[in-house]
Structure formats: C-alpha cells, structure tokens
C-alpha cells in the first residue's frame, strides 16, 4: 500500500506545485490582461483602437519611452561598471556591506527615488529627460553591479593572464578576452535595466511632468485623469507587446551566447588589492558609487528636517496628526504598508515557493514554459496590472476592487518572480545523491522532500521573503489604482502630499520617504545576513 501511495503523493505534490501558481496567475494576471484586450479591441463608442495608435501624441510617447529606456540602460552600465569590476575582482573588508548598500536604491519605491532627485538637483534640472535618466541609473545600478559583478567574480583569471603572457596589453585583454566572456552577464543586466526603465512609473510621473510622458504614465493619465478607458487599454496593449518583443529578443540573444571559459568559485578568483594603483582603483570606484548613491538619500533626510527656515522634527511630529491630504493619518499609512507588504510576502512565498519546487525538479520544455510565464509580471506594467484589476473585478461575483486583500495580491504578483529566482538555484544545487540515498533507505518522496529539500530551502525562502517584503512595501504603480482612500500605503501617501502646496506638506512627504527608506534598508540588511551562498547571478 505504501508503495502505491508514495508515487501518488509525489504526483499530487507536482500537481499542487504547478496548479496553484498557474491558477493564481490565470485569475489575477491573465484574466485582467484578457479583459484589457477585450476593452481595447472591442467595438463600441468613442475612438477606435486604430485612431489611438495612429495619433501623433501616441507615437511621440512611444518614441520617448523607447529612447529614454535605451539611454537609461547605457548610463546605468557606464555608472555601475567600475564598481562591478571591483566587486568582481577584489576581496576587501566590508564587501558584503557594499553589496547590501547597493541594493537599497533598487528596492526603494520609485516615488522615493524621484523625491531624492527633486531634493538634490538644481532647479532647472529637477524635471526633464536628464533627471529621468539620472534617477533610472540610481535605481538600477544594483542590477548591473550584482549581475555583472557576481558573474565577473567567477570568471577564471588565468584566461586573461595567458593573454598577458602573449603580449596583450590591458586594454586589448579587456576588449578581446574579458568583454566577450562578460557578454552573457552584460546582456542579461542590460535587458533587466531596459525593462525596468521602459515600464518606470513613479520616476517619470514626478520628474518628467506633462512634457515627458512614457507609455506607463500615459496609461495612468488616460485611465485616472482623462477617464478614457479605451485609450488606456490600447496603450496597455502597445506596452505589453513592446515588453513581450523585448523579452523574446533578449531570450534569443542570450541563447546564442556561449560562455567561453570555465566558471570558478569566488574564493578562487577574488584577491586583495596589492599595488598602489589597484588600491586607488578600488577606492575611487567605491567612493564614486557611494557619492552617487548616498548623496540623494542624504538629501531626503535633510529635506525632511527643513521646516520653518531651520531644521527640526516638525514634519515627523505632524505624521501623527490628521491631514487634508489623506483620509487617514500618515502613521496609519505606515501601518497599512506594513500590513499589506506582510500579506503580499506570505502570498508570494507560498505561490512562488510551490512553483520553485516544481521548476527545480524538472528541465522539460513545459517546465521552462511555466518558468517563463511566472516571469511575465516582472516585465509587465504595474500600472497596466492595477488598471486591469480595476476594469476586470468591477462587477459581481468578482467585484473585488474595494476588498482590502486585493492590494497584497497585486503586490505579490510583482514579488513572485523574485521568490522563484532566489529559491530555484538553491534547490537545483542540492546533491541528487542525497535524495537517492534517502530513497534507498526506504524514505518515500514526501519524506525526502520534507527532510532534505525543505530544510535546505528554508534559508532561501527566508531570503526570498525579505526581498518580497521590501518590493511589496514600495510597490506604487498598481497600488495607486487599488488602495482605498482611507487606507493609503506609504508610496501613495507620499504622492498625495506632493500634490498639495505648502512647505509642511512637502516636508511630510520627505519624512514619509525617510521612514520608508529606513524600513527598506533594514529589510535588505537582514536579507544579506541570512542569505544563502550565491547560486545565481542576482
């Protein structure tokens, strides 16, 4: 009887691992997207989809969206590459702390990043394309540093050393040896930065203004400010198509890239800076990065204290008092954010964890397709997602727009891909001989999973929970559509304070941004303390 129950149990676990995530994505991701397609291409009054597509304003918005994403990607790589080199080649005290500090801007809400650059940029540069590009580089620098730096730290240095013995100079070794070896990591990092810049919302909305709209902000403008749902739906389809084409092109490019050279352990590659020149390179690279990342964050703190011609805690004291900007006190927004982020973390860890266990145990094409489907919310527009929820769940029996749990669900969709990407490499690194030995000793599959896979995966799940919490805490694009007026989150509250005149309102927005920054930084540092050994590029 036991022999018959165990395979059935294994099949049942696989069914749960595939079925629960697929059902979740089908109902909360595919269903809203299908409704956007129906609204955008269906017949009815108002403008036709073709008239929206051929409008000159749409072409201008699409051009600026692509242009700023390409320029932001190039600037991010330029800024982050020296630090990626240092982290990929040298061992030094505080290296783990540097990795954690670099990650903080990436998990900060885009609203907070935009506020930081409003505080630091000169008056004439506070809004415009230059501010958008700089803010995107600040936000995405962690992607390049961690992806390229981690990959660089595993490249065998003997390949470059062999070229040096043949007479190749430093620049030629970099151009003909190192750069081709780094191509997979660079293309991967560039693709991620491009997608995040292409679908950026808070940064463009605040720093761009009406003159510099992207598809993401234009969807928001049409749906919320103009209330033209047809135009918003068509623009959502345009953005989804562009993102899908970018992902497809990137996937095919990466499939053709071959990693020439054997990857080694970081312990065998990293070394301490020996010469004065090497030490100068390390100090200059890390110092420049610290200035680029630290100055805007320090400006946030300074602006939160600047009230009444001096520096005081008036903005922080005002956070406990009712305000006309919100239907709740600012501290209630803090509590709402923590509650929503906790709920989103639970959902993301459960759904993403089940999917990770299913993906890690198979390499079939159907599993790869399943893995790709789970990544779609990462590249999809958060504004499009929130807009899809609004127009889909608006009537019985699925009228969920006012339900408090709909916000954590939307936030979890964005966090699930990170959970999968963190947990899957850990599970795949488990030595298969451990499972085989347990099976030979009579352990059924369920017991093997419970006593071997699960304990090893717990640390990865803890790391994934930390990242999911930080990402959910700062989610803005979908939450601004779904959060009830009397239950705002921190990013929504910051945005509403920015929309009201007055020195105290601005200071309260900065104070809330500082609170959000501190909570996010604590989450990231806790993740770095408990993180598993690095089994993925990011």
Helix (H) or strand (E) holding 426: helix 406-428
pLDDT of residue 247: 66
At 261, the pLDDT band (50, 70, 90 cuts) reads: very low
Instruction: Read off the pLDDT of residues 355-407 as tens digits, 9 standing for 90 and up.
Output: 888 887 776 777 777 877 787 787 677 777 887 888 888 777 777 877 888 99
DSSP category for residue 532? P
pLDDT of residue 133: 93
Residue 27: pLDDT above 50? yes
Going by C-beta distance under 8 Å and a sequence separation of 6 or more, which residues neighbour residue 291? none
H helix count then E strand count, the chain: 26, 2
How many CA atoms within 13 Å lie on the side-chain side of 376? 22
Both structure tokens of 378: 């990462």
Both structure tokens of 36: 């956007």
| Residues facing 72 on adjacent strands | none
Lowest mean pLDDT among 129-143, 449-463, 465-479: 449-463
At 250, the pLDDT band (50, 70, 90 cuts) reads: low
Q: How far apart are the first and last CA of the chain?
A: 45
pLDDT of residue 530: 66
Question: What dotted CATH number matches 66-312?
Answer: 1.10.3720.10
pLDDT of residue 392: 85
CA–CA gap between residue 351 and residue 373 (Å, rounded):
13
Helix (H) or strand (E) holding 311: strand 310-311
168: left (phi over 0), alpha (psi -120 to 50) or beta: beta
Instruction: Read off the pLDDT of residues 184-219 as tens digits, 9 standing for 90 and up.
Output: 788 878 888 898 898 888 889 888 877 788 888 888
At 266, the pLDDT band (50, 70, 90 cuts) reads: low
Give the torsion sign (CA, 432, 434, 435, 437).
positive
Highest mean pLDDT among 137-146, 257-266, 389-398: 137-146
Considering the segment(s) 1-43+314-538 as one domain, its CATH architecture is Orthogonal Bundle (1.10)
User: Residue 377: how many CB atoms within 10 A of its CB?
Assistant: 21
* Closest to 345 measured CA to CA, from 463, 478, 492: 463
Going by C-beta distance under 8 Å and a sequence separation of 6 or more, which residues neighbour residue 25? 373, 374, 376, 377, 413
Instruction: Read off the pLDDT of residues 157-188 as tens digits, 9 standing for 90 and up.
Output: 777 767 777 777 677 777 777 788 788 788 87
Instruction: Read off the pLDDT of residues 62-74 as tens digits, 9 standing for 90 and up.
Output: 899 999 999 999 9
pLDDT of residue 338: 92
Burial of 61 (0-12, 13-18, 19+ CB in 10 A): buried
**Mean pLDDT (the chain, rounded):** 80
Q: Are 337 and 401 in contact (CB under 8 A)?
A: no
Over the range 321-355, which residues count as b (16 or more CB within 10 Å of their CB) and which as e? eebebbebbbebbbebbeebbbbbbebbbbbbbbb
- Do the first three CATH levels of 1-43+314-538 and 66-312 match, i.e. the same topology? yes
> Could you tell me the residue ranges of all domains in the chain?
1-43+314-538, 66-312
Q: H/E/C letters for each residue in 221-259?
A: HHHHHCCCHHHHHHHHHHHHHHHHHHHHHHHHHHHHCCC
| Residues facing 471 on adjacent strands | none
pLDDT of residue 253: 55
* Closest to 392 measured CA to CA, from 474, 480, 476, 482: 482
How many CA atoms within 13 Å lie on the side-chain side of 199? 31
CA–CA gap between residue 219 and residue 213 (Å, rounded):
10
User: Residue 362: how many CB atoms within 10 A of its CB?
Assistant: 15
**Residue 271 CA: distances (Å) to CA of 83, 257, 457:** 15, 28, 30
Both structure tokens of 372: 């790709």
* Closest to 453 measured CA to CA, from 351, 334, 329, 361: 361
Residue with tokens 């966090």: 415
What value does the mean pLDDT take over residues 4-14? Answer: 58
262: left (phi over 0), alpha (psi -120 to 50) or beta: beta
Highest mean pLDDT among 81-90, 95-104, 382-391: 81-90
């Amino acid at each position: 009887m036991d022999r018959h129950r165990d395979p059935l149990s294994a099949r049942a676990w696989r069914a749960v691992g595939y079925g629960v995530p697929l059902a979740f994505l089908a109902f909360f991701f595919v269903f809203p997207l299908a409704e956007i397609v129906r609204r955008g291409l269906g017949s009815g009054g108002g403008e036709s989809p073709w008239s929206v597509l051929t409008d000159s304003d749409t072409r201008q918005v699409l051009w600026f969206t692509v242009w700023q994403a390409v320029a932001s990607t190039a600037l991010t790589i330029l800024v982050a590459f020296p630090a990626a080199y240092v982290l990929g080649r040298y061992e030094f005290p505080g290296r783990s702390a540097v990795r954690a500090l670099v990650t903080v801007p990436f998990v900060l809400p885009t609203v907070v990043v935009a506020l930081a650059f409003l505080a630091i940029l000169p008056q004439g540069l506070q809004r415009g394309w230059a501010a958008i590009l700089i803010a995107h580089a600040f936000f995405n620098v962690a992607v390049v540093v961690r992806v390229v730096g981690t990959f660089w730290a595993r490249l065998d240095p003997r390949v470059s050393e062999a070229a040096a013995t043949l007479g190749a100079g430093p620049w030629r070794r970099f151009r003909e040896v190192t750069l081709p070896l780094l191509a997979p990591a660079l293309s991967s990092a560039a693709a991620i930065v491009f997608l995040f810049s292409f679908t950026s919302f808070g940064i463009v909305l605040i720093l761009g203004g009406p003159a510099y709209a992207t598809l993401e902000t234009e969807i928001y403008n049409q749906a919320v400010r103009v209330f033209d749902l047809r135009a918003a739906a068509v623009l959502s389809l345009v953005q989804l198509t562009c993102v899908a084409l970018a992902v497809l092109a990137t996937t095919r490019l990466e499939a053709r890239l071959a990693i020439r050279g054997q990857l080694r352990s970081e312990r065998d590659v990293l070394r301490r800076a020996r010469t004065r020149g090497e030490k100068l390179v390390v100090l200059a690279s890390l110092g420049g990065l610290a200035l680029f990342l630290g100055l805007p964050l320090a400006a946030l703190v300074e602006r939160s204290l600047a009230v009444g011609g001096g520096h005081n805690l008036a903005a922080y004291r005002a956070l406990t008092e009712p305000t006309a900007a919100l239907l709740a006190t600012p501290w209630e927004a803090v509590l709402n954010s923590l509650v929503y982020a906790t709920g989103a973390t639970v959902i993301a860890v459960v759904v993403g964890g089940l999917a990770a266990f299913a993906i890690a145990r198979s390499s079939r094409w159907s599993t790869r397709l399943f893995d790709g489907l789970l990544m779609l919310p990462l590249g999809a527009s958060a504004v499009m997602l929130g807009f899809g929820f609004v127009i889909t769940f608006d009537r019985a029996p699925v009228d969920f727009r006012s339900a408090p749990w709909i916000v954590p669900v939307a936030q979890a969709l964005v966090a699930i891909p990170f959970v999968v990407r963190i947990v899957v490499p850990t599970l795949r690194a488990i030595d298969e001989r451990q499972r085989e030995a347990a099976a030979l000793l009579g352990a059924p599959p369920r017991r093997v999973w419970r006593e071997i896979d699960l304990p090893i995966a717990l640390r990865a799940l803890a790391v994934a929970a930390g990242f999911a919490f930080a990402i959910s805490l700062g989610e803005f694009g979908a939450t601004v559509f779904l959060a009830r007026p009397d239950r705002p989150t921190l990013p929504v509250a910051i945005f509403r304070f920015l929309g009201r005149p007055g020195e105290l309102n601005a200071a309260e927005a900065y104070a809330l941004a500082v609170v959000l920054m501190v909570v996010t930084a604590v989450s990231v540092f806790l993740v770095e303390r408990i993180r598993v050994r690095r089994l993925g590029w990011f």
